[in-house]
Chain A
Amino acid sequence: MPNETLLAEAANGQDPAQGLRAVRALRELAERLENLQVTNARAHGWSWQEIAFFLGVSKQAVHKKHARRLGS
C-alpha cells in the first residue's frame, strides 16, 4: 500500500488537502458510531439524560440530534 503510506505522510505533514480530508472522514465515522451507539442505548431503555452524560453534551443537544431519527 504505497498509496496509503504516501497519504499518511501527507496527512501528518504539510498538505492541507489530505489532512482536512482525514478530519472529514474521521468526523463522518464518529457521527456514524454515535448513531449506532445512541440507537443501541435507547433500545436498552437509556434516558436522553444518561446518554447525554456519557457523550458529554447536554440532554437537549442529544435529543435534538437523534430524537426524530429514532421516532421518540
Chain B
Amino acid sequence: MFERFDEDARGAVVRARAESVRTGHAEIGTEQLLIGLAAGPGLAAEVLKAAGVSLAELRALIPAGGSPGRLEPLDAEALASIGIDLDTVSRATDAAFGPGSLTRTKTRKRVRRRRPSSPRMAEASKAVFTLALHAALRFGHNHISSGHLLLGVLEQPASPAVATLQAAGADLPSLRKQVTAEVVRNADRGGAAEPGP
C-alpha cells in the first residue's frame, strides 16, 4: 500500500502516528491523518491553509484519547480535616487561571506502562488509503500524494476527520474541488510524480 506514497504522503502518515502518540490515542484515526496532512509540507497542507483551516484550530477540536487520568472530585472534607479550605484554594486558582481550572486539570497516574504500544492504524484510516488509491487511479496517477490522501479523507463523509473539518468551518465541497484541481495540476507539472524512496 505505502509503496505508491510520495514523500509528502509518507510524511503525513508519520506525523499522524506521532500525533496519536502525543495525544494518547491507541489508534491512528482519520482525524490524526488530517493533522498529519495539515501539519505539512505538501499539497494537502497548502490547500487546507488556503481554505483558512489552521493546524492549531484542528488540534483544538480533536479530543485527547484514552487514559485521561484521574478527574475525581477533590476530597474537600478530608482537606478540611487538615485545615485546608478547598473553596479558598479554588477561588485563588479561579482568579489566576480561570473558572473551574482546578477541577479541569488532569493528573496522571504515576504507574505507566514502560513502553506504550505503538498506535494501530484505524480501519477508517485504512479505508482512506484505499479511497486515496482509487482517486489516484481515477486520475491516472501512479503515485499517492498528500492531496490524494486528503481526497480520501473527504470521501468518507461520516468520519471524525470530516466532522472536525466541518467544525473548523471548512466548506467541504469547495475544499474537495480545490484539492482535485491541485492534484491534477501537480501531476500535469510532473511534480511529485515519482514515488518516494
- Report whether A36 and B97 are in contact in the complex, using a CB–CB cutoff of 8 Å: yes
How many pairs of A and B residues are in contact by the CB < 8 Å rule?
Answer: 74
For chain B, the count of residues having a C-beta within 8 Å of the partner chain is 25
- Contact residues in B for A8 (Cβ distance below 8 Å): 80-83
Q: How far, in angstroms, from A21 to B84 measured CA to CA in the complex? A: 13
Most buried by B among A3, A31, A40, A65: A31
Question: DSSP majority for the B interface?
Answer: helix
For chain A, the count of residues having a C-beta within 8 Å of the partner chain is 27
Question: DSSP majority for the A interface?
Answer: helix
Besides A4-B77, A11-B82, 14 other A-B contacts (C-beta < 8 A): A7-B77, A7-B80, A11-B78, A12-B81, A22-B75, A22-B81, A28-B70, A29-B79, A32-B102, A33-B89, A33-B93, A33-B102, A40-B97, A65-B108
- Please list the residues of chain B having a beta carbon within 8 angstroms of any beta carbon in chain A: 22, 70, 72, 74-84, 86, 89, 93, 96-97, 101-102, 105-108
- Please list the residues of chain A having a beta carbon within 8 angstroms of any beta carbon in chain B: 1, 3-4, 7-8, 10-12, 18, 21-22, 24-26, 28-29, 31-33, 35-36, 39-40, 65, 68-69, 71
